[in-house]
């Protein structure tokens, strides 16, 4: 992949020690490092709850607080528009390191909650800055592929990270993953510092005040509907994501090693969805690709409770659920980069804040409907997907008007 000039309002490509293809791979690697920590709670939910001496409701509350902290990234991510994309990336990774390192010195439930909140916040600050960088440096016809490749770090974190963490937790206890991921975070910080160039976007619509900058972006109707789409889409994922480990453990008696292996299967499905979604969105078109993905999500969500009666059926259903979700999510990324290109960093910061709020909604809903049965979680996902589809049609209409 070469560096391609993009829209007239964007800065020219900047020089880097690495070609763009290698930069994309670096971004994917850092994404994987960060997500090993931020994703580990899901498959090992019961283990963390047991180690901390709390129940599922308490852990879901901690996850809700984590999601709220992620939404605070909205007020930090404008740094990428004001001080450069690299500054935003480094700030995000630094916040992640502080969060992961906290549990090394403080072992309470409060420390756990603060730690997962800071690592989550750092992930979103890093993510929005990286997406803005790609939006600036890669032309629209190849942007989906680049963003999709970066998103494979999300899936790889499950394939590589969860089996490793399952072994580490089983041998050393629930606190062991935190120093491990903090050390990886330091490595990620050094890689970005050395290999990624810095620049400030040239054309801006932003005022000097962060709150005013956010309001200026939210005045654009297409941006508002796009954010609702992201909010509902991630909620549909999280309402399944939070309890899948508990569901597998309670239904089929899967233990730590088996849950790590199941997570690896899910990681493979996510990488497949991320890779296919990026390419298809460039070939088929952003809106059509998103609609196709949402259609697949609806079908899988509706059949998941029926095929989940056996361990094999549950894993197959989860495989296609995460594949269809990642296909859809990656297809939304190039769409979101073009809604407000003049303030891309702030817009993508608002988008990741909505992703955090969507996870909060899913975290609040998921454990309560799970008391009814896993089918209620699947039904909730269907409802969220339908709202996301409506918001997409409105965003498209407003963008063309």
Handedness of CA 254, 256, 262, 266 (dihedral sign): positive
Taking the C-alpha atoms of residue 387 and residue 161, their distance in angstroms, rounded to an integer, is 33
Handedness of CA 379, 72, 60, 304 (dihedral sign): positive
Do 261 and 359 touch, CB atoms closer than 8 A? Answer: no
Query: Nearest Cα to 46, choosing from 262, 290, 242?
Result: 242
The model's pLDDT over 300-324, given as tens digits with 9 standing for 90+, comes to 999 999 998 888 888 889 889 989 9
Per-residue pLDDT for 141 more than 80?
Answer: no
Per-residue pLDDT for 343 more than 70?
Answer: yes
Would you state the pLDDT for residue 344? 75
Q: How far is CA 375 from CA 301, 302, 363, 367, in A?
A: 9, 9, 16, 12
The model's pLDDT over 236-271, given as tens digits with 9 standing for 90+, comes to 999 998 888 778 777 777 665 566 666 667 777 878
Residue 212 exposed, middle or buried by CB count within 10 Å (0-12, 13-18, 19+): exposed
* Residue showing tokens 């608002």: 350
Q: What is the pTM of this model?
A: 0.73
Mean pLDDT for the stretch of residues 354-379? 88
Q: pLDDT: is 331 or 271 the higher one?
A: 331
Per-residue pLDDT for 10 more than 60?
Answer: no
Q: pLDDT: is 57 or 335 the higher one?
A: 335
pLDDT confidence tier of residue 5, bands split at 50, 70 and 90: very low
What kind of architecture, by CATH, is found in domain 20-400? Up-down Bundle (1.20)
Per-residue pLDDT for 203 more than 80?
Answer: no
pLDDT confidence tier of residue 3, bands split at 50, 70 and 90: very low
The model's pLDDT over 113-138, given as tens digits with 9 standing for 90+, comes to 999 999 999 998 998 889 888 888 88
The model's pLDDT over 211-237, given as tens digits with 9 standing for 90+, comes to 777 787 888 888 999 999 999 999 999
Average pLDDT, the chain: 83
Taking the C-alpha atoms of residue 165 and residue 162, their distance in angstroms, rounded to an integer, is 5
């Amino acid at each position: 992949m070469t560096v391609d000039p993009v829209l007239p309002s964007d800065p020219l490509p900047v020089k880097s020690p690495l070609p763009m293809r290698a930069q994309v791979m670096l971004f994917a690697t850092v994404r994987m490092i960060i997500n090993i920590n931020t994703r580990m709670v899901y498959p090992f939910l019961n283990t963390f709850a047991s180690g901390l001496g709390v129940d599922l409701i308490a852990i879901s509350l901690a996850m809700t607080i984590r999601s709220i902290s992620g939404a605070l990234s909205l007020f930090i991510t404008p740094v990428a528009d004001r001080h450069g994309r690299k500054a935003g990336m480094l700030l995000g990774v630094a916040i992640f390191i502080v969060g992961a390192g906290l549990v090394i010195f403080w072992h309470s439930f409060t420390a756990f909650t603060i730690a997962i909140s800071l690592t989550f916040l750092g992930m979103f600050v890093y993510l929005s800055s990286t997406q803005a960088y790609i939006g600036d440096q890669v032309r629209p016809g190849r942007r989906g592929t680049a963003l999709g490749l970066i998103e494979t770090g999300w899936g790889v974190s499950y394939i590589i990270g969860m089996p490793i963490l399952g072994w580490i937790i089983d041998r050393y206890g629930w606190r062991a993953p935190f120093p491990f991921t903090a050390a990886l975070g330091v490595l990620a910080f050094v890689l970005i510092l050395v290999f990624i160039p810095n620049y400030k976007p040239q054309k801006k619509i932003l005022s000097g005040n962060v709150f005013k900058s956010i309001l200026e972006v939210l005045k654009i109707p297409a941006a508002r509907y796009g954010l609702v789409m992201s909010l509902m889409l991630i909620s549909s994922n999280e309402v399944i994501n939070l309890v899948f480990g508990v569901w597998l453990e309670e239904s089929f008696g899967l233990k730590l090693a088996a849950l790590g292996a199941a997570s690896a299967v899910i990681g493979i499905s996510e990488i497949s969805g991320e890779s296919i979604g990026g390419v298809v969105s460039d070939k088929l078109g952003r809106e059509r690709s998103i609609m196709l993905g949402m259609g697949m999500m609806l079908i899988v969500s509706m059949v998941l409770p029926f095929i989940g009666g056996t361990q094999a059926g549950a894993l197959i259903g989860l495989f296609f659920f995460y594949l269809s979700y990642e296909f859809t999510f990656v297809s939304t990324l190039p769409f979101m980069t073009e809604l407000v290109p003049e303030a891309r960093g702030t817009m993508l910061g608002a988008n990741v804040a909505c992703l955090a709020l969507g996870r909060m909604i899913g975290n609040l809903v998921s454990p309560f409907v799970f008391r009814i049965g896993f089918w209620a979680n699947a039904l909730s996902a269907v409802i969220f997907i339908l709202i996301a589809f409506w918001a997409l049609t409105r965003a498209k209409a407003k963008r063309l008007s």
